[in-house]
Amino acid sequence: MSQAFIFPGQGAQFPGMGKALYEKSSRARTLFEQANDILGFRISDIMFEGSAEDLRATKVTQPAVFLHSVVSFFNLPAPKPSMAAGHSLGEFSALVAVGALSFEDGLRLVARRAAAMQSACEQSPSTMAAVLGLEDAKVESVLAGITDEIVVPANYNCPGQLVISGTLAGIEKARMALLEAGAKRVLVLQVGGAFHSPLMEPARQELKSAIESTRVSKPLWPVYQNVDALPYVDPDAIRSNLINQLTAPVRWTQIVRKMLSDGATSFTECGPGNVLQGLVKKVDRHIETAGVGE
């Protein structure tokens, strides 16, 4: 059996996340307190006692999901992955789980990423939208026809669900055109900006220097990276892909298909929620999935 471990991204957070782990596990407590020291504020208090609104703050959301995911993985008695992947932010969690990044470096990069993305969002008013019920190729074709605004594929989540990203005007033009092309729904998302688009270039540049100065080790198991859905073990390639991730689409559908073709027989989601399990089932409803959280 080949077990794939997968790690969720931003949006999986919920009030009270991680509290049960903290109370039950001494190792979890150590990691939470270490995170509090690294971040310079008690993120554990916000995770355990804060409201949904508190958890939506940029400097909290990404470190919180990362921390919950990594602690969930390390709290397993004997995890035996054959491969790993993470959705957007989750790629950092995956890299820590397989030993390519240290916990400390992973958390520092995630905190830097959150700040850089927030800054980029403030520079360019923008958003994202979920396109439902249309083939990926058709969505790509429609977007290619919009040349006066930035609007691009951002998250290939599963068959029939592709998130697009761009300027406010670009998303509105795309919404109308995609509905006309046969999309069942095009839902504008409540997000701060156009993640995984060229509008994140300022954030990519800021994160680039941080990633280049961070040690990346050869992972214990291959990591399937967002930018091209291929498995990597070479530290230099992993670093390059991580830098380019912010402005490139998340190819999650392709990652799941590649893992399956490479022999994955089950998928275990580590972290808050079960969104990725649902997306895996949309690719292959027969595949075994499980979740590891609280």
Q: Are 151 and 203 in the same domain?
A: no
- Residue 112 covered by a domain: yes
Same domain, 45 and 147: no
Residue 51 neighbours by CB distance under 10 Å: 9
Instruction: Tell me the catalytic residues.
Output: 88, 196
Residues 224 and 114 in one domain: yes
Q: What is the CATH number of the domain that holds 39?
A: 3.40.366.10
| Tokens found for residue 219 | 């992972």
Q: What residue numbers bound the domain in which 145 lies?
A: 125-188
> What per-residue confidence (pLDDT) applies to 108?
98
Position 126 scores a pLDDT of: 94
Residue 262 within a domain = yes
Q: Which of 188, 206, 231 is the C-terminal boundary of a domain?
A: 188
CATH number of the domain bearing residue 139:
3.30.70.250
**pLDDT computed for residue 191 by the predictor:** 84
Please give the model's pTM, rounded to 2 decimal places. Answer: 0.96
Structure tokens at 223: 């990591």
Rounded mean pLDDT for each run of 10 residues along the chain, 294 residues in total: 92 92 94 96 96 88 96 89 96 97 98 93 91 97 96 97 97 97 94 92 94 97 98 98 97 98 96 95 94 83
Burial of 214 (0-12, 13-18, 19+ CB in 10 A): middle
Query: 154 and 182: one domain?
Result: yes
| pLDDT for the residue 217 | 98
Q: Are residue 51 and residue 111 in the same domain, yes or no? A: yes
DSSP 2-14: -EEEEE--TT---
Asked if the structure places residue 193 within a domain, the reply is no
Into how many domains does the chain fold? 2
Residue pair 275/17 in contact (Cβ under 8 Å)? The answer is no
Asked if residue 107 is part of any domain, the answer here is: yes
Residues 109 and 152 in one domain: no
98/25 same-domain check: yes
| Distances in whole angstroms, Cα of residue 48 to Cα of each of 54, 59, 85, 224, 289 | 11, 16, 26, 31, 27
The answer to the question of residue 218 being in a domain is yes
